Amino acid sequence: MATLLKGLQWSPSPARLATCHSSRVLDHARSVAFPRTFFLHAPSGFTPSRFGKVLNSRSFSVAKRGGGAVIVRAEGNGGDEAGRGERFTVTTPLYYVNAAPHMGSAYPTIAADALARFQRLQGRDVNFITGTDEHGEKIALAAAAKGRAPKEHCDAVAAEYQLLWKELGIAYDKFIRTTDSHHETLVDEFYKRVEAKGDIYQAKYEGLYCVNCEEYKDEDELIEDLCCPIHRKPCEARNEDNYFFALSKYQQPLEELLSSNPNFVRPSFRMNEVQGWVKEGLRDFSISRAAVEWGIPVPTNPKQTIYVWFDALLGYISALLPEGKEPILTNATERGWPASVHIIGKDILRFHAVYWPAMLMSADLPLPEAVFGHGFLTKDGLKMGKSLGNTIEPRELVSKFGPDSVRYYFLKEIEFGKDGDFSEKRFIEIVNANLANTIGNLLNRTLGLLKKNCDAVIPVDSSSISEENPIRILAAESVSKAKLHYSELDYSSACDIILGIATAGNLYMSEKAPWSLFKEGGSAAEDAAQELTVILEAVRIIAVALSPVVPELCNRIYLQLGFTEADFKSISWNDTQWGGLKSGQVMADAQPIFQRLEVPNAPETQSTPPKKGGKKNDGKKQKGSAKQKADSAVVNASAS
């Protein structure tokens, strides 16, 4: 293997992979933080299968192209190891500040926060980036409509985003604003790099323009009356002399990227969309606007401003600039780039999966490892968005139901990547059934029995519970599956798997009936005390495993189990292993960890209680008490 690797070379960089044993090569692979795709010059006799034997052990795979090799996959720069110290960068879209945030803005941010929290549990050095996109015609129009200067308007709306993220428990690391001075400096450098590559030229453009999309549209894309299919508003005929990016030059490199790296765009059906766009033939696109004053001036022509997407996408890099460092691309990309995953709405997939990688190739910068396009939250069959005026207020949801309820419903009930609906009735039923009943009641009644019969003291180390105990076996299997689901951004399945531990715990309690065993006394009472330890250890594991989704709830669980705030803040995924509760540990008094949700102003009537469980609505009319019913109108949203 050492002979095989001798002479392998980065391209275009001249740095060599040294001749060494395979384990040392893997350490090198980890240390240089491979992008998903890059080219290597291979020695004669190279075969992908031989080289892949080394790389696959760290979740790399390799393909042969011409006289070279292509590394096409690198999960988390180190694969399945503990992940300690490995860098992981996750981004949300940079949200447009033409109006206040809505549920469609909150949805991908909650998802990104859950992923960031999960990766931190793995011990990774996480950069969680969010922020606001603050330039463009739409911003200037929105500011004028409110009688504000554009920057004043941006300041006000950016503050609303930051407030909402705080209320939702979003633990971001960087909040970038595209009006930040260092961002504008980096955009200027990036533009000059691409221009020096010969990929920017000046030309006239005539076409139909959607102000809300900030994009020219082909007539065959539009619906009746030349309306944008997303925003349902007429497009404007425009004729401008602009600067263009030579996207068509990157037709073949993008085709190769998409064919060699099936995980670059996820879910897989989104990859099919992107490949379809590319196969239709890429056309150069305008990267400046002559009629828009609110933007970053084109370095070579201050009479024009840089197109909003050629500006905003750089926010993912400018956010990484260390404080106090000179604002140059080299400094901004030295720690945390390339991004591990961009989480975005499917309506901006083309910009992230086609335009962005081509721009980065032109500037000789590494590509992001993956782009994940989530679905829309709809209302009356339409995407929810600020431009359509059919949004719901996420702060109102948080105020009425709390952040954990909102986080849990949208991650558990909607398969991330697909379209989904929000119904207040369904919301209340699911959250009450899962969090208040299945998990909350299990903990509450177990702690009550422990206090009554054991003075609230854990009688034995949980590690002493038999390895053949069915709850112990299920917990181990479940957290292993949940880890995989979280890694794949399959939050719904992760929640289901973890909830299954609590469901099994409730059945276990019913079968073992420790309340009866305590009455018998003697060895039966000792067995009963041990069974309570089983349940409480299972709930502790649930608190760790579910913490990326509902951190406040899980913190309350930990406190009731006799741990401190500091204990909870220091948890890692290793704490999902059985054995965390120790003999003599004193539990707190049982308090409801989650108050049942009630429908505001709902009339009190007698009715049949709703059925427990069931993730998806099967379309049948469901019975439920009037107190638990909400208006049947579906309220939905999308990220844009």
Judged against a pLDDT cut of 60, whether residue 492 lies above it is answered with: yes
Are 125 and 154 a contacting pair, CB within 8 Å? no
pLDDT-based confidence at residue 640 (cuts at 50, 70, 90): very low
pLDDT of residue 168: 98
Which pLDDT tens digit goes with each residue over 38-95?
334 444 444 444 343 334 333 344 444 444 444 443 333 333 345 667 999 999 999 9
Return the pLDDT at 315. 98
Please say if the pLDDT value at position 309 is more than 50: yes
Task: Choose the weakest-confidence range: 13-22, 335-344, 440-449, 575-584.
Answer: 13-22
pLDDT reported for residue 313: 97
- pLDDT score of 626 more than 50: no
- What tokens were used for 469? 């105990």
Q: Which of 157-160's residues contact partners 24+ apart within 8 Å by CB, and which partners?
A: 157/97, 157/98, 157/99, 157/100, 157/101, 157/132, 158/97, 158/132, 158/134, 160/100, 160/101
Q: Which of 122-126, 291-295, 351-355, 361-365 has the lowest mean pLDDT?
A: 291-295
As separate numbers, helices (DSSP H) first and strands (DSSP E) second, the chain gives 24, 19
- Write down the pLDDT at residue 591: 87
User: Could you tell me the pLDDT band of residue 601, with boundaries at 50, 70 and 90?
Assistant: low
The pLDDT score that the predictor gives to residue 301 is 94
In this predicted structure, the answer to whether residue 620 has a pLDDT above a threshold of 90 is no
Q: What is the mean pLDDT of residues 342-371?
A: 97
Residue 486 scores a pLDDT above 80 = yes
**Host H or E run for residue 256:** helix 251-260
pLDDT surpassing 90 at residue 604:
no
Q: What pLDDT was estimated at residue 212? A: 75
Beta-carbon count within 10 A of 453 CB: 18
Mean pLDDT of 420-448: 93
Over 60: is that where the pLDDT of 629 sits? Answer: no
In this predicted structure, what is the pLDDT of residue 217? Answer: 78
Confidence of residue 432 (pLDDT cuts 50, 70, 90): very high
Average model confidence (pLDDT) for the chain?
A: 82
Percentage with pLDDT > 90 across the chain: 66
Q: What is the DSSP letter of 437?
A: I
pLDDT, position 264: 97
Confidence grade of residue 639 (pLDDT, cut at 50, 70, 90): very low
C-alpha span between 48 and 581 (Å, rounded): 48
Q: Is the pLDDT of residue 597 over 70?
A: yes
| Reported pTM | 0.80
Domain residue spans in the chain?
2-77, 426-576
Instruction: Find the range with the poorest average confidence among 10-24, 296-310, 593-607.
Output: 10-24
Confidence band, pLDDT 50/70/90 cuts, at residue 504:
very high
Residue-level pLDDT at 389: 64
Q: pLDDT value at position 83?
A: 61
- Reduce the secondary structure of 35-66 to three states and give it as a string: CCCEEEECCCCCCHHHHHHHHHHHCEEEEEEC
pLDDT tens, residue by residue, 97-149: 998 998 989 999 999 999 999 999 999 999 999 999 999 988 999 999 999 99
For the residues 215-235, what does the mean pLDDT come to?
80
pLDDT (0 to 100) of residue 477 = 97
Of 231-235, 404-408, 596-600, which gets the smallest average pLDDT?
596-600
Let me know: does 228 contact 213? Beta carbons within 8 Å. yes
What's the full length of the chain, in residues? 640
Determine the average pLDDT of the residues in 436-451: 96
What is the structure's pLDDT at 306?
Answer: 96
Residue 616 has pLDDT above 80, yes or no: no
List the single range of 18-32, 311-325, 521-535, 542-556 with lowest mean pLDDT: 18-32
Local confidence band at 623 (pLDDT 50, 70, 90 cut-offs): very low
**CATH topology (fold) of 426-576:** Isoleucyl-tRNA Synthetase; Domain 1 (1.10.730)
Question: Radius of gyration over alpha carbons of the chain, in Å?
Answer: 27
Which residues make Cβ contacts (< 8 Å) with residue 613, sequence separation at least 6?
Answer: 433, 503
Convert 412-424 to b/e letters by CB count within 10 Å (16 or more is b). Answer: bbbbbbebbbbbb
- The pLDDT tens digits of the residues spanning 381-425 come to 566 655 666 667 899 999 999 999 999 999 999 999 999 988 888
User: pLDDT-derived band of residue 538, with 50, 70 and 90 as boundaries?
Assistant: very high
